[in-house]
Amino acid sequence: MITKITKGKLITTLLIFSVASFCVWALIRLVAANDFTVKVKGHLQNYVEAGTIETAEEELTAAIIVLEKKQLTEGQISIFWKDPSNDIGIWYKNLLRSREELQTLSKENLTNQLFGLERQRKGLTGGHDSVQHPEGISIYPYNKPFFWWGAWSIIAIIAFFIAYEVLKDDYEWDEPLFEFKVKDK
């Protein structure tokens, strides 16, 4: 049996492969982001919204334990340039300092506790409604491979789509590029 590979089949197959690659990339990113949200960001949000010092300390400690298990205690998330807002080490040390501050607050009077807890909340949220964290931490330490995978998938989709659109009316669209024989069983 002779199998013929045409321009049309090749370009269409490569376009489908590029789209599938991008979809897998996006799915993995979504799953990783959801995992981080559930296991870390959820605890940090509960810490920010805690009504007592004890609850705040428990939630912050739970988040720190997960970060340590996942070895998210140091590193740089940035791909092209180093930015302090993307430094995991600085962010992690701030969380540790917040926990130490919480432990000292529990020994002080109620007024100081409330003032200290509010100051910590503003520091962790940066004045926003949700907890701030380095962007891309959910896929760390694989930020660079994920960047290049996503970038090349998008470039390939664009290139093969353009090739498909430009060449689909070409008279050689269905002409074989190469043939190969497959043995029948």
Number of domains in the chain: 1
In a domain, 132, yes or no: no
Domain range enclosing 107: 8-70+81-124+138-156
Give the tens place of pLDDT for each residue, 21-57: 999 999 999 999 999 989 999 998 888 888 777 888 8
Among 31-45, 96-110, 119-133, name the most confident range. Answer: 31-45
Residue 117, token pair as written in the block? 């807890």
pLDDT class of 61 with cuts at 50, 70, 90: very high
Which helix (H) or strand (E) is 179 found in, with range?
A: strand 176-181
Alpha-carbon distance of 83 to 123, in angstroms, equals 18
Alpha-carbon distance of 25 to 3, in angstroms, equals 32
In a domain, 185, yes or no: no
In a domain, 161, yes or no: no
In a domain, 75, yes or no: no
C-beta of residue 152 within 8 angstroms of C-beta of residue 22: no
C-beta of residue 74 within 8 angstroms of C-beta of residue 151: no
In a domain, 165, yes or no: no
In a domain, 51, yes or no: yes
Give burial (CB, 10 Å; 0-12/13-18/19+) of 134: buried
In a domain, 59, yes or no: yes
In a domain, 41, yes or no: yes
